[in-house]
């Protein structure tokens, strides 16, 4: 419950900050990824199943419609777009980059 509440709080913070900072031409958005192929996920897998972290990873991947973790470069490309000067009219938005995990919610 605390994790979900913190995520909703973050989205509210982003939306409020976007409204407050818009007059100063400051854009505020949030990027919310699903599991990403990083050291952090290895640690989570090992903690969730120390006897079989590979099985934990497989289980996580099965919960993602694209059947894989995101790659760090994929997340970086979205952030690069949002920060680029070619994007000057997007603010207060939530970007879910999760291989379809939340599409059915």
Active site residue 58: no
Task: Report the candidate in 42, 93, 46, 51 with the shortest Cα–Cα distance to residue 69.
Answer: 42
Which listed residue (3, 57, 58, 69) is catalytic?
Answer: 3
Three-class SS state of 65: coil
Q: At what angle do helices 53-62 and 39-48 cross, to 10 degrees?
A: 110
Q: Residue 96: CB partners within 8 Å, gap ≥ 6?
A: 32, 33, 102
Active site residue 7: yes
Q: Please give the positions annotated as active site.
A: 3, 7
């Amino acid at each position: 419950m605390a994790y979900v509440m913190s995520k909703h709080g973050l989205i509210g913070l982003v939306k409020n900050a976007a409204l407050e900072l818009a007059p100063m031409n400051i854009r505020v958005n949030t990027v919310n990824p699903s599991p990403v192929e990083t050291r952090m996920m290895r640690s989570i897998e090992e903690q969730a199943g120390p006897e079989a972290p590979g099985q934990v990873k497989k289980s996580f991947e099965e919960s993602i419609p694209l059947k894989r973790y995101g790659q760090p470069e994929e997340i970086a490309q979205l952030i690069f777009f949002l920060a680029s000067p070619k994007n000057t009219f997007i603010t207060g938005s939530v970007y879910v980059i999760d291989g379809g995990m939340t599409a059915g919610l």
